[in-house]
A = this chain, B = another copy of it.
């Protein structure tokens, strides 16, 4: 176990991401002390029982007080209020970061509250599961996953370096982007896919009522994967769509255009168009495997699918 990167790390919000940071920091020894706070008394109690924080406080201010690194692990829409609450307790030289899926809106909400001499370095670990709450976290969540930092243009380089080292010690690969670009990339890779999955699950549910739950009973690969996506935390996603409204609507618009073209090809029976289109998208999957973001193993709900021959 190496020297801790930060003597005192405060986690505000103890859901899937907050608790996983706690476990991962305990695993690596990256924090001398982990202090946590959650708004709900039940979550604080669970956190005390599970032990991924050394101390669980009764207010966000008490957690942030004296911390070298404060990470906001609350839904995007709550970041501004939390920043206001902890602002006067932040110690000079402290770093404030977050884990939100949207960056420009978080910066806009948080930055005005950050005192001079405190460094805001927003972050977004691209990792998660469809589960939420303090019991869903685990130390390996960030292993080999990207964490994107969006430091301000003339921010403190030492702070960015320290936060980079911290995330690397949690197992993540770290890169930097400017906030609006991050928000566009994530709209494509995450936000719009989630909007679509939520919508399709909603459509299916309407029909399930006329088909006696068969839609669920015979749920095939495609839909089953959608429901997993659509099971993610409702408040977190509500905030993501509201905070990344512009990019989400832009990409949703392109999606609907493209879907109209595909619908027309189906309606007119354009076999060549369909085959070419599907062949092309298959190649993109290959690119993702090559980029190391997934494995080629088939796992359509069939984990540990082996081969008996």
Q: Quick one: which of A189, A197, A234, A279 has the most chain B CB within 10 A? A: A189
Minimum CB distance partner of A148 in chain B: B218
Pairwise interchain contact B230-A203, C-beta atoms closer than 8 A:
no
User: What's the nearest-Cβ distance from chain B to residue A24, in Å?
Assistant: 9
User: What's the nearest-Cβ distance from chain B to residue A78, in Å?
Assistant: 12
Pairwise interchain contact B307-A129, C-beta atoms closer than 8 A:
no
Number of copies: 2
Minimum CB distance partner of A237 in chain B: B278
A281 contacts B by Cβ under 8 Å: yes
Pairwise interchain contact A129-B266, C-beta atoms closer than 8 A:
no
A39 contacts B by Cβ under 8 Å: no
Contacts of A27 in B (CB 8 A): 308
A114 contacts B by Cβ under 8 Å: no
A291 contacts B by Cβ under 8 Å: yes
Pairwise interchain contact B193-A222, C-beta atoms closer than 8 A:
yes
How many interface residues does A have (CB within 8 Å)? 116
Contacts of A301 in B (CB 8 A): 293-295
The residues of A with any CB-CB pair to B shorter than 8 Å are 23, 27, 50-52, 126, 128-131, 136, 138-141, 146, 148, 181, 184-186, 188-208, 211, 213-232, 234-235, 237-238, 241-242, 245, 248-249, 251-252, 254-256, 258-259, 262-263, 266-267, 269, 271, 274-275, 277-282, 284-288, 291, 293-309
The 6 A-B pairs of least Cβ separation, nearest first, read: A129-B298, A193-B222, A231-B285, A234-B278, A190-B220, A138-B307
Give 17 CB contacts A-B under 8 Å.
A130-B285, A189-B215, A189-B223, A192-B200, A192-B203, A195-B262, A200-B255, A203-B255, A204-B284, A213-B291, A221-B229, A232-B278, A232-B282, A249-B266, A299-B299, A303-B303, A303-B304
